[in-house]
Amino acid sequence: MSQTASPIPSAATPELSQRLLEVDNLGVSIHSDEGVFRPLNGVSFTIDRGQAIGIVGESGCGKTMTANALLRILPRSAEITSGKATLRRHHAPEAGLDLLQLPADGREMRAIRGRDIALIFQEPMSAFSPVHTISNQIGEAIRLHENLGRRATRDRVVELLDLVGIPQPERRADDYPFQFSGGMLQRAMIALALSANPSLLIADEPTTALDVTVQAQVLQLIKRLQREMNISLMLITHDLGVVAHMVDYVYVMYLGQVVEEGPVDAIFDQPHHPYTKALLKSIPSLTEQQQVLTPIRGTVPDSRHPPKGCPFHDRCEEVVGEVCSQQMPAHYDVGSKHRARCFKYTPVQVSAAAGRANGDADE
Ligand SMILES: Nc1ncnc2c1ncn2[C@@H]1O[C@H](COP(=O)(O)OP(=O)(O)OP(=O)(O)O)[C@@H](O)[C@H]1O
Ligand SMILES: [Mg+2]
């Protein structure tokens, strides 16, 4: 196990042409009446072409803020204070574009929103205007990015609605949003997001507002379309159970930082960070019949007053020593493309643990 200097670019380093987005050390501050606080504190992650990543963590840890910072749709009180977010577009992968440097309301950023990066979120009603038909609204999004005539646009709308599983799409295209059920509206929002063939789909808690059966259907739909269209997916959720069948690689966030990252199987089978372990113990398992769910003790600290040292130390069951409340741990390699930000995995801790284990075996 080795220490990696922080901030880190990525665990995996594929060909440049495969890398779609590289976020390095993203920091955001918010100016409030109580002063300035930092909801994002050096977030780093990467997304390759066609890859599905999950961003997980409890409410308030900065998942939505991370997505919104990339799309440059942060609240006025928020300011990007550090980092780079390099987008490598299809037509010019070698000329990366730093999203954090573009004017938030400029032409380039407006073209990237929707065209390169599309967003679906929890509340589909807010993606649609109540006074225009579904067809008009998806059609307008198509025409923003493509020069199509009326007939061709209408055909494309119907094709998209069919693709996302809206029954009788020819007829339902002329409905108003209030005539769709919650699940149908969520599907229509996915059609809207996919209308410009984006390279990256960000899905921010896309199914939290839906009942469990519809939730599973919508997740399956997102996964199928992501694979078929070879889009990259950034799935944001507070529910680790949701990412299990949806993504290849997981980033676990806590209080504005990534505390563990790894291939999805490694995160589930060999979680290393005490926070990830606690998160896993708090979700129901599909395989174990009788299990006790253990809530994580305490609550996420207010990001206005973060604790000193490791932000998780006062809820942690595996505190190593005083260092946990004094210093922020670095990212340590704990497996193949798998890292955890915890003092348990400093080389000195690991060799001490190995020594103890050998001693036990000798006795
Ligand atoms: N407009 C805002 N003004 C001030 N603080 C904000 C604003 N939006 C978010 N925050 C704060 O930033 C932090 C991160 O919020 P964020 O919405 O990214 O959390 P999240 O991980 O998406 O949570 P959830 O799972 O509840 O959606 C929180 O402490 C939140 O209170
Ligand atoms: Mg959120």
CATH number attached to the domain at 13-116+198-362: 3.40.50.300
Nearest residue by C-alpha to atom 18 in ligand 1: 62
Cβ–ligand 1 contact at 184 (below 6 Å) = no
Residue 62 Cβ contacting ligand 1 at under 6 Å: yes
**Is residue 80 lining ligand 1, measured as CB closer than 6 Å?**
no
Cα(353) to centroid of ligand 1, in Å?
38
Indicate whether residue 39 lines ligand 1 (CB < 6 A): yes
| Cis peptide preceding 7, ω within 30 of 0 | yes
Domains of the chain by residue range: 13-116+198-362, 117-197
Mean pLDDT by 10 residues, the chain (363 residues): 44 66 97 90 96 94 96 95 93 82 93 91 86 96 88 95 93 96 91 92 88 85 92 93 92 96 96 94 64 73 85 93 94 96 85 65 43
Rounded CA gap, 65 and 59, in Å? Answer: 11
- Asked if residues 355 and 28 have their Cβ atoms less than 8 Å apart, the reply is no
Q: What is the structure's pLDDT at 3?
A: 47
pLDDT of residue 240: 87
Output the CA 71–ligand 1 centroid distance in Å. Answer: 15
- State CA 195 to chain mean position distance: 21
SS (H, E, C) the chain: CCEECCCCCCCCCCCHHHEEEEEEEEEEEEEECCEEEEEEEEEEEEEECCCEEEEECCCCCCHHHHHHHHHCCCCCCEEEEEEEEEECCCCCCCCCEECCCCCCCCHHHHHHHHHCEEEEECCHHHHCCCCCCHHHHHHHHHHHHCCCCHHHHHHHHHHHHHHCCCCCHHHHCCCCHHHCCHHHHHHHHHHHHHCCCCCEEEEECCCCCCCHHHHHHHHHHHHHHHHHHCCEEEEEECCHHHHCCCCCEEEEEECCEEEEEEEHHHHHHCCCCHHHHHHHHCCCCCCCCCCCCCCCCCCCCCCCCCCCCCCCHHHCCCCCCCHHHHCCCCEEEEECCEEECCHHHCHHHHHHHHHHHHHHHHC
Q: What is the per-residue pLDDT for 144? A: 85
CA 112–ligand 2 middle distance (angstroms): 21
